[in-house]
Amino acid sequence: MEQSHTTPAETPSNAETSNDVGLRFMLLGLAALAAALLLGVVGAFKFLYPEFMEGLPFHKIRPLHVSLAVSWIFLTAIGGIYYYLPNFCGLSLFSGRAARWHFWIFVVTGLAILGAYLTGRFGGREYWEFPPALAVPIFLTWIMFGINYFRTVVKLRTAWPVYLWMWGTGIVFFFVSFSESYLWLLPYFRENMVREISVQWKSYGTLVGSWNMLVYGTAIFVMQKIGGDEDVARSKMVFGLYFLGLFNLMFGWAHHVYPVPLAEWVRNFAYAVSMTELFILGKIIWDWRRSLSTRRKFRHRRPYRFLYAADIWIFINLVLALLISVPALNLFIHGTHVIVAHTMGATIGINTMILLASVFFVIEQRVGEGAENRHAGLVDAGFWLANGSLVVFLAALLAAGLVKGTYVGESFYDMMESIEPFLLLFAVSGVGLMLGLWLVLLPAMVRIGALVFPRG
């Protein structure tokens, strides 16, 4: 195992606790993704056939799908942080007990949220539709996580590599964005429609930026460990790019709300800021990939392959993000499935591929390449099926969005009828995407599960 830093190694018992917690988060994240995919497919078919699974209406399925997908991202990123700090950075967790509490409170709160959705108890805003009281444990555990993280990394005697900055930034700004997303509880905000909707989407912009910090930090960590090049995480260039990403996180949100009548300069400023964050990571991964030797590529081939796929999706999404951020083009595609394509492309193509790289990096490190190869055929088939399906899936969404954006009639139902073939293609390719990712997830869950619950 590589020890990047010089701080004293933790005691075995503490290490075991830390490993255990990180892996539990990852295992739960993998399960959340498996369920999110199933609900996504059901939701896609309900678009076309509302009578399909009538007991589970679309207004329940959508928040279930979204919450599970968001949980996958956070759980797996958090799991990686809890795992990597003691195992690779030589930093024993400040409190293993707090990390375990974090996990169990997350589980209980998550089940309560899923239960609320299934029984039709809403009351929150888009993406956080659960009753606001359930946000309280999320706030509290996040504070615990933040304290645990910063009290752990403060022990590092050397300058922080960029991924520690990124993880810390992600933790701080998730708290900021989550708090801001509940400002609607104050009459001052909710009694002004322009303010209410603008502030809500401002918080979502920061939220996505914060999880990108967690995920991209993980990507840089994994590629540094695979490539064995410390400079990947410490160069001036990488820090310059980090600050550019932070700038985007703070000021790039208003492209979501161009048509909302808020101050014009805020909208134009967001256009100028644009979405350069994807380019940033693309450049880093690209530079790193070129420097790897063939042997190293082969040795770590599964995590490498997922990062390589993320690299390609970054470039595709960068183009889409830039197009969306141009107000003149946004005028035609705002509120259409083009935006859904961008969201799906980023969460599946980029975030999911990076987090799978992290999961398989842990598996390779813990189980060894030979043992991991037992399921190699399944994982490889799943990888190609998922990525191939994602191409069709995004193309169908883009086509549906462009037809909707250029539709000139008044009837919403006529417009929906005209995009129906694309929505069918979207749903069918969604099945391929689900099956492909399940083929990847299943062996990963078996492996991580065996580490969390060892036999005997």
Figure out which of the listed residues 24, 102, 125, 301 binds another protein, where binding follows CB under 8 A: 125
Figure out which of the listed residues 259, 368, 377, 421 binds another protein, where binding follows CB under 8 A: 259
Residues touching another protein, count (CB under 8 A) = 65
The DSSP letter of residue 442 is H
Q: Judged by CB under 8 A, which stretch of 2-10, 27-35, 68-76, 181-189 contacts another protein?
A: 181-189
Q: Is residue 183 close enough to count as binding another protein by CB under 8 A?
A: yes
Cα separation, 431 vs 184, whole angstroms: 37
The H or E element that residue 87 is part of is helix 58-88
Cα separation, 240 vs 286, whole angstroms: 17
Which amino acid is located at 313 in the chain?
W
Q: Is residue 56 close enough to count as binding another protein by CB under 8 A?
A: no
Name every residue whose Cβ is closer than 8 Å to that of residue 353 and which is 6 or more positions away in sequence.
Answer: 306, 307, 309, 310, 313
Q: How far is the CB of 396 from another protein (least distance, A)?
A: 13
Cα separation, 283 vs 300, whole angstroms: 20
Cα separation, 440 vs 445, whole angstroms: 9
Cβ-based nearer residue to another protein, 241 or 307: 241
Give the up-direction half-sphere exposure of residue 88: CA atoms within 13 A in the CB hemisphere.
22
Do residues 219 and 355 touch, judged by C-beta distance below 8 A? no
Q: Is residue 146 close enough to count as binding another protein by CB under 8 A?
A: no
The counts of H helices and E strands in the chain are 18, 0
Cβ-based nearer residue to another protein, 50 or 377: 50
Figure out which of the listed residues 100, 195, 283, 296 binds another protein, where binding follows CB under 8 A: 195
Cβ-based nearer residue to another protein, 46 or 301: 46
Q: How far is the CB of 76 from another protein (least distance, A)?
A: 25
Q: How far is the CB of 266 from another protein (least distance, A)?
A: 5
Q: Chain centroid to CA 42: how far?
A: 21
Q: How far is the CB of 440 from another protein (least distance, A)?
A: 28
Site for another protein in 260-279 (CB under 8 A): 260-264, 266-268, 271
* Residue linked to tokens 């994807």: 278
Q: Judged by CB under 8 A, which stretch of 14-22, 323-331, 387-395, 447-455 contacts another protein?
A: 323-331
Do residues 440 and 400 touch, judged by C-beta distance below 8 A? no
* Residue linked to tokens 């993880």: 167
Do residues 171 and 142 touch, judged by C-beta distance below 8 A? yes
Q: Is residue 258 close enough to count as binding another protein by CB under 8 A?
A: yes
Cβ-based nearer residue to another protein, 33 or 66: 66
Cβ-based nearer residue to another protein, 67 or 76: 67
Residues that bind another protein (CB under 8 A): 47, 50, 57-60, 62-63, 122-126, 129, 159-160, 165, 169, 180, 183, 187, 189-195, 197-199, 201-202, 236, 239, 243, 246-247, 250-251, 256-264, 266-268, 271, 326-331, 334-335, 337, 340, 410, 412
